[in-house]
Amino acid sequence: MGDRKQARDEEFQHFVVGRWPRLMRTAFLLTGEQHAAEDLVQTTLEQVFVAWRRVGSADDPEAYVRRVMINAHSRRHRRRLKEFLAPKDDTGLTRELPDSGDRIAQADDRGALLKALAELPPRQREAVVLRYWEDLSETRAAEAMGCSVGSVKSNAAKGIAKLRAIPGLADLVTNGGRN
């Protein structure tokens, strides 16, 4: 019994180490703050660890964890906690290192895009982050958000439309994201 528990713990640890950067990036894009993102990831991983036997044997453990993260973020938002995408004083923050193939990360004015993203309503922000930053299909984004594919399409389209309406971001959204 002790060997199985140790093997599960090692499997969980391997999962966390391998997925940490992506989990942090998603959490940061959802919360807008480094510390809030760290808290969200920690809360998510606490919940996942308790159920790791079931999660680890799932077809797609990463999708399960992403769904737990979206639910935890939604619960926080329902409590009406105020979120900021960029803190007033960002000195001392560790900057996210973009993936080499991340076209949005290659944009000249990433700060403007993050600020604009913060202005989106939470469900639109979730849809845009999952579809365009995480590059999930509409079906997988719907599973993560706990809604229909149509809701994902609608929220993503509205979010992208709002981003395109911001002067200076239209080219970035049109050329940097999917059309």
pLDDT at 101: 56
pTM of structure? 0.61
User: In this structure, are residues 113 and 104 in contact, taking their beta carbons and an 8 Å threshold?
Assistant: yes
Q: What is the pLDDT of residues 78-93, one digit of tens each?
A: 554 444 444 555 555 5
pLDDT at 79: 52
- What pLDDT is recorded for position 56? 79
Structure tokens at 107: 């944009």
CA dihedral of residues 40, 166, 158, 147 (deg, nearest 10)? 0
pLDDT, tens only, 113-152: 777 888 889 899 999 999 988 889 999 999 889 999 999 9
Residue of 112, 126, 94, 108 whose CA lies nearest to 21: 94
Distance CA 65, CA 151 (A): 21
For 50-108, the pLDDT digits (tens) are 888 888 777 888 888 998 999 888 877 655 444 444 455 555 555 555 555 555 545 44
User: For residue 171, what pLDDT band results from cuts at 50, 70 and 90?
Assistant: low
